[in-house]
Homo-oligomer: A and B are copies of this chain.
Amino acid sequence: MITISNLSASYHSDTELVPAITDISCSIDTGTTCAVIGPSGSGKSTFLRCIAGLQKNGYSGKITFNGEAVNPSEINIGFMPQRFGLLPWKTVKENIELGCKIKNVPLASRRKTEEILVNELGLQDKLERYPIQLSGGEQQRVGLARVFLLRPDVLLMDEPFSALDVITRESIQKVFFSLWKDASVTTVFVTHFIEEAVFLGQQIIVFSKHPGKILSTIQNPFFGRKDKVQSEEYLKFVYNLRLLLEKELNE
């Protein structure tokens, strides 16, 4: 279980200290997924960076995994930043395998998985390219392939499907889903699409506008239920989430 209590983080901007998130407390059960939605600039990326132990200026508050402090070399955190985090001097293949290499996962055992994954993400004929030679969506898929191949304990993804067209997006959502089911990866991801949050998040955290607080933490009854998307309850649920955000932004 990931437990976050009284998390605050801020940035130095010239002379002042600008708070990015203030007093965030929540918990995510092991093996569950959690979607984070909220206005642009509300601190969602900052929140994810804090969990991954990457917030440079540090933070106040406490983040624990199963009661212990975060130690990225012990647990496997797969983190996909908003800008994908590809290393420009590595080929697509090297970038995909980077996570496993760092974690000393024998790649031989992953060859099969890797091949399937690369095919599912449509990267099979781009393996020898450098990131600069890819389109935006292709770069995003490489970033996804890296964290998927690693099969991490904790998966943190910042707007993971934002640069993909609808069809590719849905097929990759499925890839994620089967990975999650297989390996029951504890997942926190940021998205701007309420429908996506509702489809993929067992728990939905709604951020307030800047500086980010938690507006609401919702247990999502429609998780994984594509069959319900036409139902009235679903539409109402989605509509209420929308209303929450709208009210927050138009205050």
Contact = CB atoms under 8 A, between A and B. Distances in A.
A167 B171 CA distance: 26
A170 to B, nearest CB: 9
A160 interface: no
A10 B13 CA distance: 43
Interface in A129-156: 129, 133-138, 140-141
Chain A interface: which size bin? 35 or more
Contacts of A167: 39, 242, 245-246, 249-250
A91 to B, nearest CB: 11
A164 B83 CA distance: 14
Interface string A194-211: 100000000000000000
A199 B29 CA distance: 40
A85 interface: no
Contacts of A164: 40, 192
A134 B245 CA distance: 21
* Copies of this protein, total: 2
A11 interface: yes
A102 interface: no
A166 B137 contact: no
B165 A245 contact: yes
Contact of A169 (B14, B38, B192): B192
B193 A141 contact: no
A162 interface: yes
Contacts of A13: 129, 133
A169 B192 CA distance: 10
Given A40-B138, A138-B41, A14 B128 contact: yes
A163 B81 CA distance: 13
Contacts of A128: 14
Interface string A216-234: 0000000000000000000
Which of A122, A141, A250 has the largest number of chain B CB atoms within 10 A?
A122
Contact of A163 (B40, B134, B166, B245): B40
18 contacts: A13-B129, A14-B128, A40-B136, A40-B163, A40-B164, A41-B122, A41-B137, A82-B136, A82-B163, A162-B163, A164-B192, A165-B192, A166-B193, A166-B242, A167-B242, A167-B250, A168-B249, A169-B192
Interface of A: 11, 13-14, 37-41, 43, 45, 82-83, 122, 128-129, 133-138, 140-141, 159, 162-169, 171, 192-194, 242, 245-246, 249-250
